[in-house]
Amino acid sequence: MSRVMPAMVLSQWSTMVDGLKQSAKDFYAETYLNLEKHQLKSVKCEIVVFPEGGIFSAKREYLQIRYREFVYHVCAAPYGNGFFVSSWLGDVDNWFLEILDSIPVLGIVVRFLIRVLKPLTFYRFDTAQMFHTVVHDAVTKTLDRVIHVRGLRALTESERKPAMRDIFAQLK
């Protein structure tokens, strides 16, 4: 498996925990163990590297979790006097279709074919939601344990809630 960029971001979440000193690699390892407890088939995890900016910029490691056409990226990193965690759930398109979509006239046909061959259905949305729920649970359980061990303030319900995109708005 290699680094994958989502074609569309379905959900994003982030939080900053003041006073927390934590290794990103340890955070990823524990999140992976929490995810394994769900015994999901066909889920693949690995550490991938994304540039912070352009080609010569510094690199940042993310935990990438893949399931079918969905990808989840988790970022954990020290930041100032604390620790930052973010996650991104996205939908992955076929790279060949993405190339065809970028061709002016052909792009219209490709977008029509994508809607016919890969429609937004309740099943696809439910699958994305289930995957999101399981991965977000693994991330927040890891963060909850680390916060508790260090005696820091627990996250509030609003700090735990991810921002979901209305993917059905595309059908209008």
Residue 93: what are its φ and ψ, rounded to 5°?
Answer: -90, 160
Residue 46: inside a domain: yes
For tokens 């394994």, the residue is: 36
> Which residue bears the tokens 């955070």?
27
Q: What pLDDT sits at residue 172?
A: 41
Q: Is residue 102 part of a domain?
A: no
Helix extents (H) in the chain: 24-36, 95-101, 104-117, 122-150, 157-160
Query: Is 28 among the domain residues?
Result: yes
The verdict on residue 126 lying in a domain is no
Predicted confidence at residue 4, as pLDDT, reads 79
With respect to residue 2, please indicate whether it lies within any of the assigned structural domains.
Answer: no
Cα–Cα distance for residue pair 140/160, rounded to 1 Å = 7
In a domain, 89, yes or no: yes
pLDDT value at residue 121: 82
3-state secondary structure of 153: coil
**Residue at 49 is within a domain:** yes
Confidence at residue 106, expressed as pLDDT on a 0 to 100 scale: 77
Q: How far apart are the first and last CA of the chain?
A: 35
pLDDT averaged per 10 residues in sequence order, the chain, 172 residues? 78 94 96 93 92 86 92 95 94 70 74 73 86 95 96 93 68 42
State how many domains the chain has: 1
85 by DSSP, 3-state: which?
Answer: strand
